[in-house]
Amino acid sequence: MNGDRAAVSLPGVTTAPIPTGAAAPAATVSRTRLLWLTLRRKPLGAASAALILLLVLSAIFANVLAPYDPLETHPEIRLAPPCREHLFGTDDIGRDVLSRIIYGSRISLWVGLLAVGIGTVAGMIIGLVCGYWEGRIDLALQRLMDAVQAIPGLILALAIVSVLTPNTTNAMIAIAIVIIPGNSRIVRGAVLSAKQNRYVEAAEALGCRNLHILVRHILPNVTAPILIIASIWLGNAILIEATLSFLGLGTQPPIPSWGLMLSSTGRAFMEQAPWLAIFPGLAISLAVLAFNLFGDTLRDAWDPKLRRQG
Amino acid sequence: MYKYVLRRVLLAVPVLLLSSLIVFGLMRVMPGDALTVLMAESGNIGEKELQKLRKDLRLDLPYHEQYLLWLWQMVSLRPGDSLLTGERISTSLWKAIPVTLELTALAMVLGLAIAVPIGVLSATRQDTTSDYAGRMVAVSGLSFPDFWLGTLVITFAAIWFKWIPPIGYVSFWESPTRNLQQFLLPAAVLGFRLSAATMRMTRSTVLEVLREDYVRTAWAKGLGGRIVVYKHALKNALIPVVTVIGGQLGVLLAGAVVIETIFALPGMGRLTVEAILYRDYPVVQTNVMLVAATLVTLNLVVDMTYAWLDPRIRYR
Amino acid sequence: MPIQDKGPQGSRKRVTRRQFLHRAGWAGVGAAALSAVPRRAGAQGASPYPEWVSPSTKPPKRGGTLTRASAWDPPVLDPRLTQSVGLFQFAGLTSNRLVRYVFPDEASGPGDMGLKGDLAESWSASPDHRVWTFKLRQGVKWQNVPPLNGRELTSADIKYCFEAYAKEGVQTFNFREIEGIETPDKYTVRLHMQTPNVFVAHALAEPISVIFSREVLEEDGDLKKRCIGTGPFILKEHTRKVKVVLQRNPDYYDKGRPYLDEYVILITPDDATRKAAFRTGQTDFIWMASPSEVETIRKTNPNAVVQAYHNTAVFFGLAMSQDKPPFNDVRVRRALAMAIDRQKQVDTVFEGHGVLGWGVPYIYYQDKAPTAAQFGPWWQYKPAEAKKLLGEAGYPNGFSTTLFYYEYWPQMTSQVQLVQAELKKNLNIDVKITKMDYTTYYGRYVDPKWEGLAWGFQSGHAVGLDERTYQYMHSKSTKNFFRMNDAQIDELTIKLRQTPDPKEQRVITKKIVDREFDQVLRLWMPYDNGFMVFQPHMRNGAAIALRRTDSYGSPQIARVWLDK
């Protein structure tokens, strides 16, 4: 069905067809258990889960883990290479890079959660409304989604950030808006296919209220595709924030976002002090990698078509 | 079939109108003004001069009049002039579009040339070393920001090979060798990212198809592995791949602004982004609408291809 | 363990697949990059490079193409509508001015501010300096390009040009000081000024006071499309976002010059790409801000010639909205000045190769660069006193404010963050930074309504003393971005332009500077000294005080030649 196409126009972003086909009825085998089994089988998936856990832990315990205050400046020791006192070296005004990387995980999580959170929830609501009620609301909302999606993602994000003040939060709101159309389409597709299930018909025949049907029968089928795409978008949001910082419209200094560290000081001092770029670059890559691989793993675990052995 | 096509085309019109409203609205709500850039680095903007300039550029009209005026210009295919440079927008588009088209085409060729074979390899040898290596390459392509890749490439090309693409864009017709030299590296960087996305898609769809009954039947019948893959699996597997490419095409057509900036190519990306930063409203609006119209058309074509391939869709 | 120790292939045994692949990539990057040995922080002291690259004594060779990669794409070609360096990096070559400053091969040293005639052969002023007479060179031809077709330049052209500048655009403030223009004959121009001003010739020598043609303005209605003048180079091609090509003007009045056949400016927005272009020989000269950058270039290009430039003024400082509280209180301004360690910025951010910061070029009031002590008590780093003073002003617990800026170059971001940290630590002032894009920043800065702080500028083009005092500091001036409003300054700057004696000028200028520093009217911030780096075959391209060859000092490219 063409509703499944989640062709999103953002650099480097792609989404594989999200499984919306024959959805398993909610809960013969618990999803979590499925995931756990898959993680045990696929080492790459397990590694990605571990990395994500590391990211979350750094974000939560940053003030314990970081050896220095990430904002504390010591210009006398600027551009120091990695050494015992500063494992990742110091930056152009003498701040400890390791501490900034650790605190940066907070920004990255914030970045991901905000963008993906808003984008997912809003997309879900729109998709649910469209898919369940169809008719004119569906037509109108889908056209609006098409209109937003027709505008190239980076351009739209840039324009939105220029309108609001450039900072991390607004950059993420911009990305969320860019994500919404794609998400809504996926959810809509999932809802449409779920509606065709017999038990939904049965529930309607029995006179169950709409909300009840939505929550008990439709929603479970939607959560799997949404979670899969959300996990991939968590990684992409970090990349887009970095690109917006490169263009000067993302995070503001002195906030230690990995994207800002890489695009401004990392690039400016690339030859004199490569560690200023290597570490944020690695951090970004590993985070994005982890989210992408985890998304793959989720798909492996939950996609009924792939699970079929026969 | 015709009714389906007609319906889809008719639906595209309100979509484009909505897009135009969104872009117009966003540009007008942005702080800062095209006029201030025209007066760069001076302090001497007398009120009278400012008013006159505003009037010349028709920025003193109420918003809805500006919008309708611009809409009329779009429809009659006379987009007007840039606020900043005074140059005709059609001229600047005429110069920027070939750059973007060339970059896009080369990136796609390079990207697909890498992606499809590796994707197939990965799928047919699932969970082996080659699969992991392929997936690693694919995912690493997706996990670097492209400004970083571009910067690394240009800096180390200069240091290690003492060569970088010759700066100063020339079109293919002026000088094919110089032009290709200029486009090779940036197309490779873009292509690498494209191939990353496509590789994964190819792999997963080929995997799915390989499990289909008809494939197993073919194997059971004794047909050689390779033939089965190429004849049966690949054809069906490639349909969703085309979708992904379509999505990436949207990105590339909008212009890979970062790559264009680093490799000094005057494409649509830089044109549009620099116009946003300089609040050059007509340029932004026109460019974005052009790309939006192209994307909408592309989507239409893809939808119609699906409808043609899968008759069930037409009767929804 | 420092990263330098690992070789390109990740020399450990038993590396996991993922580790291997990542290491191979990044260690390769690191190893290669680290071949340019990074300097430890705090590299200070005198630069090993000369301050002045003397013009060559060999006879110049004619021919060749000079190429440069530039970040600046000229948005408008109309000199009435912009002062941007994007235009004047080459408009100074397609046009002349009435008067000019000396070129490097005429200069006695990097600080020579002598005037020479350009289109004017000689000039004189009436005793009250209200009437200025310029005698034009005879036989100067406009470029042989339609619609001028090589006709002779006359005084009527000058009159037309000046009246056009006064009518509209960014230079009206200056040119409206002319009450009337007489052209008694073809080669004489007489200017009647509204008020006495000893600096009229200097104002006309500014790089932006180019003489453009009547025909183009009348035919096109503006000067946006065609750039035709009397200058040494003809604008052969201008492709937006790609390049600017200038070709030798065979009919130029200075016979035998320019030496170059062509000057090509390649529009290259990215800094890393510009460096790469210089490294691979695609461009002939480049500006670098810091010593460590120069070292990395010299690793790959050991034969590059380096000139250690020394700025005689800076262009950026902490602009305060001093028409409003809290910055209208001189105690607050003084407290801020004492709470910021400017010397440290010079030592660290600029690696020793920088200046502490002041607005009026010191060559106008003394011979040597100012020392820190000279600026007075409010400009020494004394955080405890600063806190006390701020308390006396009524803010013992500090306050909150904002700062907006545009990142012209990375060092600026370093400085902004250092200032933020120091103000917080020393005075408990919370500064919220907003980094903007160029348009938003520029638009907000020149409109005197912003509040709080800004990393603000005064224009980079100004060479003349009057421009840097009266035009920028007088409370009524439209270029008074720092929003100064000091009666003494107003009085002194007007007096200055009525003082013909150079020695007295120095005295008055010093008084102006002293007053500015005493009242902390503009909180100047450190600035780089920078380096001009040339390919070994380039001659006569040295940058001179306030006239950098790659930017507003472009007219001196008429004297550049290539030894190859």
Residues of A in contact with B14 (CB under 8 A): 143, 147
**What sign results for the dihedral spanned by CA atoms C496, C500, C504, C507?**
positive
The per-residue pLDDT for B294 is 85
- Mean per-residue pLDDT of chain A: 80
- C88 to chain A nearest CA, in Å? 26
Q: What's residue B6's pLDDT?
A: 84
Residues C319, C482: contact at Cβ < 8 Å? yes
**Which of these, B189, B291, C523, C128, lies nearest to A151 by C-alpha position?**
B291
| A167 vs B: CB within 8 A | no
Q: Please state the separation of Cα C183 from the chain's center in Å.
A: 34
Strand, coil or helix: B32: coil
- Each residue's pLDDT tens digit, B58-106: 777 777 887 888 788 877 877 778 877 778 888 899 999 999 999 989 9
Beta bridge partners of A90: A96
Q: Which residues of C touch A94 (CB under 8 A)?
A: 41, 348
Compute the distance between CA of residue B253 and CA of residue B170 in angstroms, rounded to an integer: 20
Please tell me which chains touch A, using 3 or more CB pairs under 8 Å as the contact test: B, C
Whether B127 and chain C come into contact, CB under 8 Å, resolves to no
Chain B residues closer than 8 Å to C298 by CB: none
| Structure confidence by residue, pLDDT tens digits, A179-234 | 898 888 888 887 877 777 766 777 777 777 776 766 777 777 777 778 888 887 88
Nearest C-alpha in C relative to B169: C242
Q: Testing the interface with B: which of C280, C303, C468 to mutate, by most B Cβ within 10 A?
A: C280
Between chains, do A274 and C30 touch, taking CB under 8 Å as contact?
yes
- Look at residue C120 and give its three-state secondary structure: strand
A264:C38 CB<8 A = no
* Whole-angstrom distance, CA of residue B304 vs CA of residue B313: 10
Which residues 182-211 of A have a C-beta within 8 angstroms of B?
none
Residue C24 is predicted with a pLDDT of 39
User: Taking residues B6-35, what's their average pLDDT?
Assistant: 81
Q: Which H or E run includes B98?
A: helix B89-124
B:165-204 residues touching chain C, CB 8 A cutoff: 166-169
Which of C296, C349, C437 comes nearest A271 by C-beta? C296
Q: What is the ipTM of this complex?
A: 0.83
Residue A294: its pLDDT value, please? 86
Residue C22's contacts (CB-CB under 8 Å, 6 or more residues apart) are A282, A285, A286
Output the pLDDT for position C35: 38
Q: Judge if pTM exceeds 0.90.
A: no
pLDDT along chain C (564 residues), means of 10: 32 39 40 38 58 88 94 83 84 94 89 91 93 94 92 94 88 88 94 93 92 92 88 93 94 93 94 94 93 92 93 92 92 95 92 90 90 91 94 93 90 93 94 83 83 89 89 87 93 93 93 94 92 94 89 92 91
* CA separation for the pair C33, A270 (Å, rounded): 8
What is the predicted pLDDT for the residue at B195? 82
> What is the three-class DSSP state of C402?
strand
Residues of C in contact with A278 (CB under 8 A): 3, 26, 29-30
> Quick one: tokens of A96?
């400890």
Which residue from C200, C115, C168, C199 is spatially nearest to C191, judged by alpha carbons?
C200
Phi-psi region of C540 (alpha: psi -120 to 50; beta: other; left: phi over 0): left
In terms of C-beta density within 10 A (0-12 exposed, 13-18 middle, 19 or more buried), how is residue C13 classed?
exposed
Please indicate whether, in this complex, the C-beta atoms of B40 and C480 are within 8 angstroms of each other: no
pLDDT reported for residue B228: 62
DSSP string of C133-183, one letter each residue? EEEEPTT-B--SSTTTTTPBP-HHHHHHHHHHHHHSSTTHHHHTTEEEEEE
The two beta strands, C233-239 and C243-248, are antiparallel
**Contact residues on chain C for B156, CB-CB shorter than 8 A:** 29, 32
Residue found under tokens 């390049």:
C243
3-state secondary structure chain A: CHHHCCCCCCCCCCCCCCCCCCCCCCCCCCHHHHHHHHHHHCHHHHHHHHHHHHHHHHHHCHHHHCCCCCCCCCHHHCCCCCCCCCCCCECCCCCEHHHHHHHHHHHHHHHHHHHHHHHHHHHHHHHHHHHHHCHHHHHHHHHHHHHHHHCCHHHHHHHHHHHCCCCHHHHHHHHHHHHHHHHHHHHHHHHHHHHCCHHHHHHHHCCCCHHHHHHHHHHHHHHHHHHHHHHHHHHHHHHHHHHHHHCCCCCCCCCCCHHHHHHHHHHHCCCCCCHHHHHHHHHHHHHHHHHHHHHHHHHHHHCHHHHCCC
**Residue among C36, C295, C434 minimizing CB distance to A165:** C434
Interface test with B, best of A4, A9, A175 (most B CBs within 10 A): A9
pLDDT, one tens digit per residue, over A230-258 is: 887 888 888 888 888 888 788 888 889 89
Query: How many pairs of residues across A and B have Cβ atoms under 8 Å apart?
Result: 184
Indicate which of C17, C348, C439 best probes the interface with A, i.e. most A CBs within 10 Å of its own CB.
C348
Residues in chain C with CB shorter than 8 Å from the CB of A75 are 41, 344-345, 347-349, 418
Q: Which residue of B has its CA nearest to A238?
A: B145
Per-residue pLDDT at C205: 93
> A4, A17 in Cβ contact below 8 A?
yes
Contact residues on chain A for B22, CB-CB shorter than 8 A: 147-148, 151
Angle between helices C271-279 and C291-300 (to 10 degrees): 40
As given in the structure block, the two tokens for residue A305 are 């078509």
The larger pLDDT score, comparing residue C368 to residue A299, is at C368
Q: For residues A213, A216, A217 and A222, what is the CA-based torsion angle, rounded to 10 degrees?
A: 110
B255 confidence band (pLDDT: 50, 70, 90): low
Using an 8 Å CB-CB cutoff, list chain C residues near B166: 282
Q: Check B43 against C446: CB less than 8 A apart.
A: yes
Tokens of A112: 């991901």
Answer whether residue A104 shows pLDDT above 80. Answer: yes
Q: How far is A218 from chain B (nearest CA, A)?
A: 21
> In terms of CA atoms, which chain B residue is nearest residue C269?
B261
**Nearest CB to A7 within list B15, B142, B247:** B247
Residues A5-24 pLDDT 10s: 333 334 434 444 444 444 44
B131 contact residues in A (CB cutoff 8 A): none
Of A154, A270, A293, the CB nearest to B151: A270
The region of weakest confidence among B175-179, B214-218, C278-282 is B214-218
Task: With CB atoms and an 8 Å threshold, state whether B147 touches A163.
Answer: no
pLDDT band, very low/low/confident/very high, at B235 (cuts 50, 70, 90): low
Q: Which residues of chain A are within 8 Å of residue B299 when distances are taken between CB atoms?
A: 7, 146
Closest CA in chain C for residue B134: C21
Q: Are the C-beta atoms of A19 and A302 separated by less than 8 Å?
A: yes
